[in-house]
């Protein structure tokens, strides 16, 4: 087992995400995070595969006007430490790291803003630790049963990530984004991964999704789903209108969480999987409105 660091100079010239990282030990590796704004509200913004906190750069300024915004990088991503051995990554490692992160910062009354794996893990933690959370905003994500079949688009993505010799991070993000990304933006997404050994976490995350015939963590997600089916605090399910991978999860998730139907039935227009990239400012405004009407 070894932990590798991404050299700080890889992040030196990134535009649009000027926030200084902070670090917290989560039981071995250190997780990096940015912590902006202040106030009674706390927004915890969780990214997915294969991105990092930079994905939320268009949302941080608006959310920070409303309260404190905490944006961590999961272990293996962004400026956090990374295992170079794929075997070190597991659902429980990510789950326990997120719990340790929340406890280390003593985050409370959290409005969870989560997408992709950030939702699988974030919703699982919220289900098991509801006392820490005030609201849920799941976006392009789900809480897998472990028994579901995955869409063909996801199967193709998983197969590609497993077999390709050099994992093209920028290409994967561009292919799941409606907006044409510039060279500097793509470079920012690729910055955390100077070598293939730095990509071990990104390599294994897709196959970890609990599903029929594979994955990891189904017992945790199933138990969390049961608890979320009795959720009484506000929840606002906010999905893009053009995501073939997670789009089918939208209505089941909205039906699972009882309070979700209390909120507007909103689809984010002209956006794909990485909806924060396609419509970050508009999404942040929707979230602020949601917080203000549910205080």
Active-site residue set: 116, 243, 273
Residue 60: which of 75, 74, 83, 43 has the closest Cα?
A: 43
DSSP state of 249: G
DSSP state of 214: B
Cα angle 108, 82, 239; round to 5: 55
Asked whether the beta carbons of 140 and 115 are under 8 A apart, the reply is: yes
Distance CA 126, CA 148 (A): 21
- For 158, other C-beta atoms within 10 Å of its C-beta total 18
89 Cβ contact list (under 8 Å, min separation 6): 75, 76, 83, 200, 201, 204, 205, 208
Distance CA 102, CA 196 (A): 29
- For 5, other C-beta atoms within 10 Å of its C-beta total 12
280 Cβ contact list (under 8 Å, min separation 6): 56, 57, 58, 59
Distance CA 31, CA 78 (A): 9
- For 131, other C-beta atoms within 10 Å of its C-beta total 7
Distance CA 119, CA 137 (A): 9
Asked whether the beta carbons of 108 and 101 are under 8 A apart, the reply is: no
């Amino acid at each position: 087992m070894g932990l590798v660091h991404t050299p700080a100079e890889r992040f030196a010239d990134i535009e649009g995400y000027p926030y200084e990282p902070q670090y917290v030990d989560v039981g071995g590796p250190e997780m990096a995070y940015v912590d902006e704004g202040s106030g009674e509200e706390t927004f915890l913004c969780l990214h997915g595969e294969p991105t990092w906190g930079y994905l939320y750069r268009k949302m941080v300024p608006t959310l920070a006007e409303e309260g404190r915004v905490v944006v961590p990088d999961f272990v293996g991503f962004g400026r956090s430490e990374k295992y170079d051995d794929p075997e070190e990554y597991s659902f429980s490692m990510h789950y326990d790291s997120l719990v340790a992160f929340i406890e280390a910062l003593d985050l409370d009354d959290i409005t969870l803003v989560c997408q992709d794996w950030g939702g699988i893990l974030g919703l699982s933690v919220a289900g098991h630790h509801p006392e820490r959370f005030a609201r849920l905003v799941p976006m392009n994500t789900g809480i897998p049963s472990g028994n579901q079949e995955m869409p063909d688009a996801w199967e193709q993505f998983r197969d590609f990530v497993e077999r390709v010799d050099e994992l093209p991070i920028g290409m994967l993000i561009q292919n799941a984004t409606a907006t044409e990304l510039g060279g500097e933006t793509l470079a920012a997404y690729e910055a955390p991964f100077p070598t293939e050994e730095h990509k071990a976490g990104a390599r294994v995350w897709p196959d970890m999704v609990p599903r029929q015939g594979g994955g990891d963590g189904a017992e945790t997600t199933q138990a969390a789903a049961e608890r979320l089916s009795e959720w009484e605090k506000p929840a606002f399910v906010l999905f893009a209108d053009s995501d073939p991978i997670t789009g089918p999860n939208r209505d089941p998730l909205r039906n699972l969480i009882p309070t979700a139907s209390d909120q507007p039935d909103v689809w984010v227009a002209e956006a794909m999987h990485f909806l924060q990239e396609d419509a970050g400012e508009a999404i942040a405004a929707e979230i602020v409105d949601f917080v203000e009407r549910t205080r």
